[in-house]
Every structure is written in C-alpha cells, then in structure tokens.
Structure 1
Amino acid sequence: MPNQSDEAPELPKNLFSLKKLKHRLLMVGRLLFLVGILIAFHAKAQPDTLRLSEFKEHRMLFEKATFTTTPLREKRQIPSLFFTNQFSNWQRLTPQSPTYADQIHWLHFRVHNDTDTAQTIYINVHSANQIVVFHVAYNGQISTLRSGYMTPSSKWALPEDDRYIPLIFPKGATFDLLAQLSNYAGILPFWTGAQSPKPSFRLQLEKESFYLKKTLREYRQNRPEFQYRSWIQGALALAVLFVGLLYLKYCQRIYAYYWAYILCGFLFSLLKTRAYTPIGQSLGEWPLLKNHLMESLLWWGIGAYLLFMTELLNLTKTHPLMQRWFRRLALLLAGYGFVYITVMLLTNDGGFQQFSFWGGRFIALPIYVFTLIWMSRSVRSPMVPYVIWANSMLGLFGILAWLRAGEVILKGIKLPANMDDLLTLSFAVVAEIIVLSLALAHRYRLLEKEKTESQLAYYEELQNKSFYEKRMAETEMLALRSQMNPHFLFNSLNSLEYLILSNDEHKATGYLAKFSKLLRMILNHSREESILLEEELTALRYYLDIEATRLGEGFTYSIEVADSVDTQRLIIPPLLLQPFVENAIWHGLMPSDKLPKNLRIGVRLADAHRIEFEIEDNGIGRKKAAELRSRSSVKRKSYGMDITQQRIALFNRNYPNQLSIEINDLKREKETGTLVKIVYNLSDEPTNET
C-alpha cells in the first residue's frame, strides 16, 4: 500500500503480510509506533482499546475514543502529525461532547481483533458529517480513507455509499485510527459565524453481518421512494422535452417561461437522487454544487413561474399593475438565486444556508398567499381557476415537503402505501404541472376558438367585400358600356347625316335599316356580362356594313374565323372588338389616300386555353395619325379606346379569364398600317377543337 496516499483504497488482505515488507521499513515503522505510544501515554486522555469481541453487532465510540479540535482553516501535515505532539487537550469522547462548525474534530481510538478470524468492520460516519477522513495505522504503515456527503464520489471509501468506511482486520491485528471530522472549507471563510451545521461524533462501528442486514433493510425501505422518484423524474423529463419542442415550433414566450420552470423542477429532482444510484454517483463528483444548487433552483423556478403567469393570464392587458409586480419579483428571485449559489460555493456557510431555507420561506409564504388572493379577486381571466388550483396543490404539497425535510412532521413515521415518500417538492411540481397543462390546453382551445371566429368573421368580411366589389365592378362595367352606346350613336348619326346630305336616299335607307338592327343588338348586349363570340361577330358585321356604306367602294373588310374556334360556345365580354375596329377605321383608314382601304379581323385558337383576335389595317399607322391629330385644330379624343382600356382593367381584376392587348405598327415595303392583337386567356374554361 502506498504511504501517505490522498486516495481512499480498500485495505488489501495481504497488506499485513510481514514477509512482503522490507527489513528497513519494518524497523522504522516499529520505531515510529513506539514513539506514538510514548506520546499518547503522556497526553491528558488516552483512548481505550476497543476489542471486537466486546460487541456482537455494533457499538458507538463513546467512552472508547478521545478527541480534540483545531481551527478549520489551519493547515496541518496529515498523517505525519499522527505521531507528533502537535495535538493537545485530548478529552474523553462522551455523548455530550460538543462539536463546532468552524473546527476540525480529531478522534483517536484503537481497535483490536481478538477473535479467531479476520473481521470486516464498517464505520458509519453519520449522514450529518460533510468531510470524514480516516488515517489508519498498522505495523508502521498509514492509509487514508475518505467519506462524507461533501467528498467527491470518486474518493469514497465505499464506492456505492458516502456514509461508510470499510476496514479489514486480520486475526490478532490492532489498528490505531485517527478520524478527522469537519465541514467543507470554502474559498472564503464563514461570514455569518453561525454554528450550523455541526459535525456529529455519532460514529458507529458495525460488523459485516449487521451492515449487510441494515443495508438490505434500508434498500427495501427506500425502494418505494426510489420508484416514486423515478417516475416523477421521468414525468418531469418528458414535460421538459415536450414543452421545449412546443417552444421551438411556436417560439412564444409562454412556452419558454414554462420550460424554464419545469427544467428547474427536473434538475431539483435529479439533485435529490440517492447516492447509491448511477445518477447520484455522477452528481456526487461535484458535492458542493449538488448540495447548494437546489436552493437556487427553487428561487429560479419560482421566478420563471411568475413570468409564465404573466403570459398565461395575459396580465399585460388584464392587469398591467400585477404584471409589473410579477416581473420585478421574478427578477428579484433570479438575482437572489445567483447570490445564494455564489456565496455558498465560496463559503459553504451553513448559517446562510439555514437562513435561506427557513427565513426565505417565511418571507415568501405571506407574499405567495397575498398574491393568490389578489389574483383571484382582481384578474378576469378563464385561466384564474386553473392557477388557483395549481398553486393550491403546489402550496399544500410544498409546505408538507418543507416541514418533512425540516423534520417538523413525520419524523421516523411511514404512512400507508409509503405515501410519505411523495411529500417532496418534485412531486408538488408534477401535481401543479398536471393542472397547468390542463390550463394550457384550455387556453389553446380558447385561442383556436377565437382564431376560428376571427377567420370566419374575416371570411364573411371578404365575401361581403368581394360581393360589393363585384357589384361595383358590374355597375362600373355597365356604366362604361352605357357610355359606349351614345359614343357609337354619335358616330353613326354623323354617317347617316353625311348620306342624307349627299342625297343618296337608297344608301341612307339601307344604312338606317342596318343601324336599327345594330342598335337593338347593342342595347341587348349592354345588359349582359358576357356574350357568345358569334353574337359579337354578327354585331361587328352590321357595324362594318354601315361603315362600308359611308366609306364607299374603296373600303373592304374581311372576318376570318379559324375552323378550330366554336363561335357558338366561346364566351367573351360584349363590345370587345368593336372599339378597336372603329379606331382602325377613323384614325387609320379614313386619313389614308391609298386604295383600297383594307381591314382584316382574324380569330384563331392559339392553344387549348388561349384565343387570339387580330385587327389589321393598311392605314397611315399610329405615328402618322398622332402627327395629324397634333396639327388638327379640332381635337377629337378617342373616348371609345379609353373606355375600352378601363373595361379591360376591370375585367382582369374581377374575373379569372384575362385579356391582354398588343398594338404594333406594320413595317412592310411601301406599306403602312397597324396590327392590334388581343389575347384572351380562358383559364380553366375549355374550348372546342375540331
């Protein structure tokens, strides 16, 4: 075994074999042992030798050990001082011997195995002791074993338990033991001066059979608690995962605050895990953080919970004053949590720990009750009953768990079905989460209902808006078509006047007959939103015949309809082509001196959902027509084209079928003219192809 080791290995069985020790080490060891005996002989109190045959199962060290104390922060070389005279004031250990939070307590005792066999003894160092270090001397060798709940789990003498130190006593062996009991010394000294918590002298030696029976009994007693704690941790872990996914999906603050609250509860439950579990051993590597983080998690969790309440109750709108109060209180609790963990990690001050545990709760409890009453009376929200129920459950179980942890109630008492094992803050959080989950579900249902109602109202508004817009568009289209009628009448009457003044009665009579038929068709079409292409072409022929009568034999026209176009099924807006034909005659052909004056109207099927109309003339072209209008003293504005453009814009805005127009000057050798191409997109409306 290595000398002066800082680790805590179990004493090997061949440790005490004199055959494996070198002669020089044996002589030095005996000399040091004799010196130690002489020093102990001259001390004020000497420990008695505890013989293993004197007790059957277990016994305390009272009346068999001596003790002394040194300042906690005093540095000593251990274990070399085991055999020096640096210790003084040794006293007999009794049940009334005092302990101090700011002192190191040294216990000196001897154990002799006077039985016929090797014995394994387990020293129960008591659960109240933070740091326990045993220096074991035998045959000049010293080994160091550690335990206590502030000792990292990797240094425990017994890997699965921080309360026991095992020792193997060969037959006839006598061990000289020096125990060091103290609280963990932080980086900074205690600042409250409170003597809490105090180490305990109630160290108990237990024989192996008693230890095994006791451990088995404890495991059986703790099994229900372990099962309860396991499903509580599982429920909290599932809630953390589920709410975290909700936040990632919706990115709403209410889920962030709720997730932070559940996370604090989950971590709190993990830190309460027993040391013999894998999780407990892993967390035991950081004992200072494990023991003090729980209090900070408590205050952080309450702070996150208050922020969650502001969102659940929508306090920004329902009660701004309470919302500000909750936010300030949440920030205060979060800050206090950071202050607490910082102070405890630096000082490990038990006085401040006790103040926070009792004082903080006595201060928080009245504020908690006041807030609940204020909320129930002032906030108007369907979530308030859920909040009251959730907090009532949290308060009930939390207070019971608090009193049980402080050993005010149920000390050493087991309720039927191990119900007392449920009296933990983690279970209180789970009970509250169940109610709050119902509240979130109710809130979600209300939001969905509100959203649905809002969508229905919006849909109805859109329908009404669409209906009125359509009616307005129809009215506007009707007004535009009505404007077309007097415009066309004006031009036609001008032509009739020209024929009458020319004394051409035959032409005037024919013109008047065709004009009356055309006027009847236009009046009928003006009341319709759409007409058949055949009706549009018939009206167009009447109009062109009238214009041909006025223009004379120098004017010719043709209407070419492809065989693939079914004029008796294809539907178009009324008076679609007539304004462009009229514009071609008045502004393109009439100012032209060339003969003949030709006008061609073509209709063809471009594809299954597209019809193309072409209006082509060999007139003077747009550029020349614009020059003539600019030089003319009589400004004749083309109202028909303006009205047509407005009609097309309205049609495209209110109907799925779309119209587009392209006007180009023809560039041919020694010829001018204009080509108007109208593309009519039929959307999903079918057309017939032969």
Structure 2
Amino acid sequence: MRLCLILLLLFSTLIAPVAAQDTITMSSITESVPLWQTGNVFLSNSKAGNFRDINSIKYWVRLDSLTLSPHEGSVWLKTTVCNDLIKPSFFDFNFLAADSILVFAKNSDTSFVVFTGPYTSVRTWLYPEKPGLVPIFCQPGQSFTLYIRLWSDKGRTLSVKQAFVQTRRRSLDDSVESFRNFVGRIEFNGFFLGAVTFAMLFFLFIFIKVREPVFLLYGLYLLGAAMYAVIVKTLPYSFLAKIAYLNYPLTYKLGEPVQYIFFAVYMAFGKSLLDIEHGYGLLNKVIRYFIIALLGSGLLLLAYNFYHFDYQLQKQAFILSRIVILPIAIILLIWITISVNNPVKWFFISGSFFFIAGGLLAVMVDPKSRHLFFGELNANPIIFFKTGILLESLCFAMALGYKIRTAQIEKNKASKAYIDQLELNKEMAASEKIRLEKMVNERTEEIVEKNRVIEQQRQVQIQSTFDKQLSEMEMTALRSQMNPHFIFNSLNSIRYQILSKDYDNAATYLTRFSKLLRFILQNSRENIISLSEEIEMNMLYVQLESLRFSQGFKFNLTISEKIDLSEIMVPPMFLQPYVENAVKHGLVPSKKAVKELLIDISPFDDGYCIIVEDNGIGRKAASSQTMLYDKKSLGMQIARERIELFNINYQPFIDVLVEDLYEQQGACGTRITFTYKDSK
C-alpha cells in the first residue's frame, strides 16, 4: 500500500508541469462539461482553411460567456488536453451545432487528423448515432494540443455554446440511449417505406391493367411519399439509410422541391378520383392552376438548388409550403366537401384530414435541420407527418377500393392481398430489429479488436523509434572516438617530420592537415555524407601521407562515368582507416621501387563496388611489424563498428571483404572490397 502511494505521488509530480494552466485535465471532467466553462479553450474567427495556416492566426480570445454568440461560416478553437490519471483515457469532444468538424492533434511525438460531422460523408463518422463526437485517446501523462475548425453552411446554426468535453462512460451511455431512442423510429420508417412502396407498385400494376389515370396518379403520389421517407431520414443504422447519407447536401437540395411536386401529384390524384373535371368548372380550373403553380415552383426550386444552393431560401420555401400551401389546401378541401357529390369524397376528405393534421404537427420543426419555428415538441413531428401520410394512403386506398368495387368484382382479393402485405411488412420490421441488434454487437466486437491492434502497433512503433535513436547515439559515440584517433595519427606524422628537421615538408604537411581537419570538423555532426565528400577527404589524406616519403608513392583514383558520387550516401570517414592502413602498414615498410595505392569505384549488380588496393608487403608481414609498433589498428576496429551501425539504421547495406594479393615471390599487397547495395 505504501509503495502504491509513493508511485501515485511520483506520477502526480511528473504530470504537474504538463497539466498547467490552459490545459483540460482528465481529472477535471465530470460526466459532460461545456467547453466554455473549462476556461481553457481559446477561439479565433480566422478564415484559415487548413492547418498550414494555423500559425498565421495571431489573435486568440478565451472562450467564455462573453464569446458565446452564434457565428457565421467557421471558427477555430484551440486547447490542450492532458491525461493526469494513471490509466489510459479518452477525451470525447461532442459538437452539437456544427455541420463539419476538423481536428488537428499534435504533441512532441505524433500528430493526427480527424474529420467528421453531420454534413460530411457517413464513411467519416466514428459513431453513427453521434456524428459530431471526436474521441482523443491519451496514455497516462500524455498530452495533445488541439486545433479545431467548426464549420456550418450559410444560414445554418454554428454555436460553440453547444460544444462539450465528456468522459468515455458518458459517451457510451449517450450512444446506448440514442440507439434505444432511434430503434422505434427505424422500425417505423422501415414499415412506412415498405408499405408505401408496396402500395405504389400495386396501383401502378393496376394502372397497367386498366389504364385509368387515377391509378397512375396515385402511384406517383406514393412514389413521392417514398422519396420523402428516404430524404427525411434517421441516423444510418440500416443499409437503406446509409445509402441516403452518402450525399448529405443532396437531401437538402431535394427536400423541399420533392414535397412541392409530391403535393401537386396529390392534388391531381384527388381531382381525378372525384371526377372534378366533369361538372365542376370553376373548382376544376382553380385546382388545375394550383397544380401548375406547385409543379412550376418545385421544378424551379430544384433547378436553382443544383445551380446555387441557399439554405436561407430553403427555410423560406419551408415556411411557404406550411403557411401558404396548407391554408389553400384546407380551403379547397372545404370547397370539395360542400360542392362535390361523389360517394368516395368522404374517403378523400378523411385521408386529406390525416395528411393536413400530420403536416400541421410537422410544421413546428424542420425535419432536416431541427430548426424551431413555432416551439418545441417532445415527440418527433416526422412520426406524426408520416403517420398522417400512412393514414391518408389507407383512406385513399379504401376510396380506390370502393371505386374498383363498383367497376370490378375482384375488390375483395385485392384488399386481402394488400392487408397480407402489411402484415408481412410488420414481420420484416421485427426481423430488421433483430438484424440491427446483431449488427451492433458485431460492430462493438470489431471496435474492441481494432483498438487492440492499434495499441500493439503503437507499442511496436515506440520500440522501433527507441532502437533507432539508440543506434544513432552509438554511431555518434564511435565517430567521436574516430576523430581523435585520426588527429593523433596526423600529429604524429607532423612530429616525425619536425624531428627529422624536414621543416619545409612539415610546414606543407601542417597546411594540408589544417584543410583536412576543417573538412573533418564540417562533417563531424553528420551521420551520413555523400561519397564524393568522402573521396575528397581521402585525397587530402593521401597527399599528406605522400609527403612522408622521399620517393613518394603513386596514387590512382578511378571512377566510372556512370556513377554520380553525390547521390551515394555513406558514413563519414569509413574509407580513411583502410586507406591509412594501406599506406602505413603496406606501403611504408615496402622496399619496392614503385609503390602504388589504387581506389576504384564502379557499378556492381544493384549497387556499387569500391576497391582500395595497395602493392605493399601484405597483411602477414605487416602484422609482425605492427606488433612491435602499434599492437593493433584502433581505426580499423572503429570503422567496422560504424559500418555495422550504418547497415542497421539506413536502407543501403555495405559489406567489407579484405583479401591478400600474391605473386610467385609471395605476398604483393592487400585489396579491400566494399560492396554497396541499395537495399538489404
């Protein structure tokens, strides 16, 4: 117990500097908290459209009660979150009044982007029941800086007051509650769409058989009702609803025009059902002009929506369709009740009553935007409207059935088939409920499995990054050993010439040595350099070493014209120890009249071949002399280790092969072959 308290105190001490002011900590979140109440969120009205322009935002104001007024277009929010708990946690940000949400999260180790919102494609939604929910996962002690862009279309609500940060438990509870609330609506929508579709097909089939316009108009009326059911939709738990969500703005463009055309077909159907064109001249003319006005308005609005969509215009059209069209429809309905003498008029009047009653209830709320016009209703007005359409359809079906009975004997068979289909639709709705519950369970299991895989990948990535950094530190340490070793050998050469009283050569040697030393210092902080730089440095070194010989030695450098040395990356000073070894232990002890050192670079398979060759005394003879003087070559050992680290950390691979050259008289030199491959 004491050990746990000590660890908790140590963790809190480490987290304290991170969870500073202007930071939302996990421990400060209780259930759900409005962002403006945290006091740690900043707001900007900048029109920056992407994250590259974030740094250009100079003015941020703290989000509080004074900055909660509704906004137009887009706003930026900035905050920092920190998990000060001892277990991994989610910061769930819930934005209820924005069409799209773009979140850029970053810290010193990583960054990621989240794009979601009700106005985006359903594929980007992390949670179907909460399109405005953005989860930020944090390990214990981990923090992220968040830049959040909220956007709403012109004329639509954009309010930072309805932005919250909440716990994962609260999000899950809300998700379950939302699903429970929407299950009944989904079942009703499935029943509604199935019933309307079946009825439409049924009466269109009758039209094909009897060729009476009334059945065609009623089929088109039901087609409009079915389109309305798809356009005015619920959250995409079902496959059909997901199809409707593939282009969310399209539903806004179709919503009002479809209702205008739908109502025009409804009026044409009523006129044909009641035979108003025969004997009711003025009423027939008024209804005909009303139908033309509805069709013209609907088609013009539809064309305008696809040319230039304006949400404010849709709101005005919405008000027009409820405030102007409904009263006109009521007046016409009263006129029909008083004037028309037809045995099926009461079926039509009853159905119209249900339709208008549903429309009057639905007038309180825009079904797509949830925009309040005349108040707030606890029950969903869309259910009332669709129920009115269903009841109206039932009344119209009865009217048509009555009309068919007067002309055909098969009315009973058609009615029974229609009722049987309705029962079948109920069974289909029940089976759809079971399928949805199964789909939710499968979705939950899939999310848990994906989280587990993501966590494993993250751990592997952290380990890989750590191993690479460790290897680079080892390479840096070896390079720091290499430079003093080389400088020590060079200074020994200068000392040798001074002791030999060869002051001119010593001065020349010292001048070239300073150039070489400057070259080494320029590359001392680089992990890799180009092969052209490495060759240039070794040429300086060879010039220095040649000054030590009174007779000198011959140096040949051969480079294939097909090779661009500047594109070949190698570790710094990986050739120098081998060149030094060739000169010091191969050429210096040699008694040959002509001493030669060769560096050859040529293409080889999928890489390059670099050869360092001398005609000295060979390794065996050199090793017996080295035991007396140097005991071992420290530079060669360091170079080998640095090449091994280079092979681990970088894509190219360098292999080193050392060979003794022989003639009839015995050893005649040494050849070192470096095989450079582009991939391991």
Q: Which residue of 2 aligns with 1:162?
A: 131
Displacement after TM superposition at 1:111 (Å): 0.7
Structure 1 counterpart of 2:349, from 366, 385, 388: 388
Q: Which amino acid aligns with 2:378?
A: I
Structure 2 counterpart of 1:224, from 184, 197, 216: 184
Q: Which amino acid aligns with 2:45?
A: T
Displacement after TM superposition at 1:54 (Å): 0.7
Q: Within the alignment, does 1:175 sit opposite 2:144 as a pair?
A: yes
Query: Distance between the aligned counterparts of 2:374 and 2:347, measured in 1?
Result: 29
Structure 2 counterpart of 1:87, from 57, 77, 82: 57
Query: Distance between the aligned counterparts of 2:106 and 2:33, measured in 1?
Result: 21
Q: Which amino acid aligns with 2:79?
A: F
Query: Distance between the aligned counterparts of 1:301 and 1:157, measured in 2?
Result: 35
List per-residue Cα deviations over 1:158-215 (Å, max 9, x = no partner).
466422122211221111111111124xxxxx6xxxx543444421122211111121
How has the CA–CA distance of structure 1 residues 354 and 404 changed in structure 2, closer, same or farther, with 3 Å as cutoff? closer
Q: Which residue of 2 aligns with 1:109?
A: 79
Structure 1 counterpart of 2:42, from 66, 74, 83: 66
Q: Pairwise mapping of residues 515-534 of structure 1 onto structure 2 (< 5 A)? A: none
Q: Which amino acid aligns with 2:333?
A: L
Query: Distance between the aligned counterparts of 2:129 and 2:174, measured in 1?
Result: 15
SS in 1 for 2:45: strand
Query: Distance between the aligned counterparts of 2:244 and 2:124, measured in 1?
Result: 13
Q: Which residue of 2 aligns with 1:152?
A: 121
Q: Is the Cα contact below 8 Å between 1:153 and 1:285 reproduced in 2?
A: yes
How has the CA–CA distance of structure 1 residues 348 and 325 changed in structure 2, closer, same or farther, with 3 Å as cutoff? same
Q: Which residue of 2 aligns with 1:213?
A: 173
SS in 2 for 1:331: helix
Q: Within the alignment, does 1:78 sit opposite 2:53 as a pair?
A: no
Q: Which amino acid aligns with 2:207?
A: Y
How has the CA–CA distance of structure 1 residues 436 and 346 changed in structure 2, closer, same or farther, with 3 Å as cutoff? same
Displacement after TM superposition at 1:310 (Å): 1.8
Aligned length: 385
Q: Which amino acid aligns with 1:66?
A: F
Displacement after TM superposition at 1:140 (Å): 5.8
In the alignment, structure 1 segments of 5+ residues that lack a partner are 1-36, 38-45, 185-189, 415-419, 450-690
Query: Distance between the aligned counterparts of 1:156 and 1:342, measured in 2?
Result: 30
Q: Is the Cα contact below 8 Å between 1:135 and 1:179 reproduced in 2?
A: yes
Query: Distance between the aligned counterparts of 1:60 and 1:91, measured in 2?
Result: 17
SS in 2 for 1:330: helix
Q: Is the Cα contact below 8 Å between 2:92 and 2:135 reproduced in 1?
A: yes
Query: Distance between the aligned counterparts of 1:47 and 1:354, measured in 2?
Result: 43
How has the CA–CA distance of structure 1 residues 98 and 55 changed in structure 2, closer, same or farther, with 3 Å as cutoff? closer
Q: Is the Cα contact below 8 Å between 2:73 and 2:158 reproduced in 1?
A: no
Q: Which amino acid aligns with 2:235?
A: R
Q: Which residue of 2 aligns with 1:662?
A: none
Structure 1 counterpart of 2:102, from 118, 123, 133: 133
Structure 2 counterpart of 1:255, from 186, 210, 215: 215
Query: Distance between the aligned counterparts of 2:289 and 2:169, measured in 1?
Result: 58
Q: Is the Cα contact below 8 Å between 1:47 and 1:110 reproduced in 2?
A: no
Q: Which residue of 2 aligns with 1:124?
A: 94
Q: Which residue of 2 aligns with 1:438?
A: 398
How has the CA–CA distance of structure 1 residues 426 and 101 changed in structure 2, closer, same or farther, with 3 Å as cutoff? farther
Q: Is the Cα contact below 8 Å between 1:119 and 1:170 reproduced in 2?
A: yes
List per-residue Cα deviations over 1:35-83 (Å, max 9, x = no partner).
xx9xxxxxxxx98110011113221211221111145xxxx4521123x
SS in 2 for 1:399: helix
Query: Distance between the aligned counterparts of 1:391 and 1:295, measured in 2?
Result: 20
Q: Within the alignment, does 1:376 sit opposite 2:346 as a pair?
A: no
How has the CA–CA distance of structure 1 residues 208 and 424 changed in structure 2, closer, same or farther, with 3 Å as cutoff? same
Q: Within the alignment, does 1:332 sit opposite 2:293 as a pair?
A: yes
Q: Pairwise mapping of residues 490-569 of structure 1 onto structure 2 (< 5 A)? A: none
List per-residue Cα deviations over 1:504-543 (Å, max 9, x = no partner).
xxxxxxxxxxxxxxxxxxxxxxxxxxxxxxxxxxxxxxxx
Q: Which residue of 1 aligns with 2:625?
A: none
Displacement after TM superposition at 1:157 (Å): 3.7
Query: Distance between the aligned counterparts of 2:283 and 2:109, measured in 1?
Result: 72
SS in 2 for 1:382: coil
Query: Distance between the aligned counterparts of 1:64 and 1:308, measured in 2?
Result: 61
Query: Distance between the aligned counterparts of 2:70 and 2:332, measured in 1?
Result: 41
Q: Which structure is larger by alpha-carbon Rg, 1 or 2?
A: 1
Displacement after TM superposition at 1:304 (Å): 0.5
Q: Is the Cα contact below 8 Å between 1:228 and 1:422 reproduced in 2?
A: no
SS in 1 for 2:246: coil
How has the CA–CA distance of structure 1 residues 348 and 67 changed in structure 2, closer, same or farther, with 3 Å as cutoff? farther
Q: Is the Cα contact below 8 Å between 1:318 and 1:379 reproduced in 2?
A: no
Q: Is the Cα contact below 8 Å between 1:225 and 1:422 reproduced in 2?
A: no
How has the CA–CA distance of structure 1 residues 147 and 282 changed in structure 2, closer, same or farther, with 3 Å as cutoff? same
Q: Which amino acid aligns with 1:183?
A: S
Query: Distance between the aligned counterparts of 2:105 and 2:257, measured in 1?
Result: 39
Structure 1 counterpart of 2:25, from 51, 59, 63: 51
Query: Distance between the aligned counterparts of 1:435 and 1:329, measured in 2?
Result: 23
SS in 2 for 1:166: strand
How has the CA–CA distance of structure 1 residues 442 and 81 changed in structure 2, closer, same or farther, with 3 Å as cutoff? same
Percent identity between the two aligned chains: 19
How has the CA–CA distance of structure 1 residues 273 and 159 changed in structure 2, closer, same or farther, with 3 Å as cutoff? closer
Q: Is the Cα contact below 8 Å between 2:322 and 2:360 reproduced in 1?
A: no
Q: Which residue of 2 aligns with 1:636?
A: none
Query: Distance between the aligned counterparts of 2:147 and 2:94, measured in 1?
Result: 15
SS in 1 for 2:76: strand
Q: Pairwise mapping of residues 415-494 of structure 1 onto structure 2 (< 5 A)? A: 423-448=383-408
Q: Is the Cα contact below 8 Å between 2:128 and 2:236 reproduced in 1?
A: no
How has the CA–CA distance of structure 1 residues 160 and 215 changed in structure 2, closer, same or farther, with 3 Å as cutoff? closer
Query: Distance between the aligned counterparts of 1:332 and 1:409, measured in 2?
Result: 27
List per-residue Cα deviations over 1:474-521 (Å, max 9, x = no partner).
xxxxxxxxxxxxxxxxxxxxxxxxxxxxxxxxxxxxxxxxxxxxxxxx
Displacement after TM superposition at 1:105 (Å): 0.8
Displacement after TM superposition at 1:134 (Å): 1.1
User: TM-score, normalised on structure 1?
Assistant: 0.52
Judging by fraction of residues, say which structure has more helix: 2
How has the CA–CA distance of structure 1 residues 422 and 288 changed in structure 2, closer, same or farther, with 3 Å as cutoff? closer
Q: Is the Cα contact below 8 Å between 1:161 and 1:275 reproduced in 2?
A: no
SS in 1 for 2:149: strand
SS in 1 for 2:67: coil
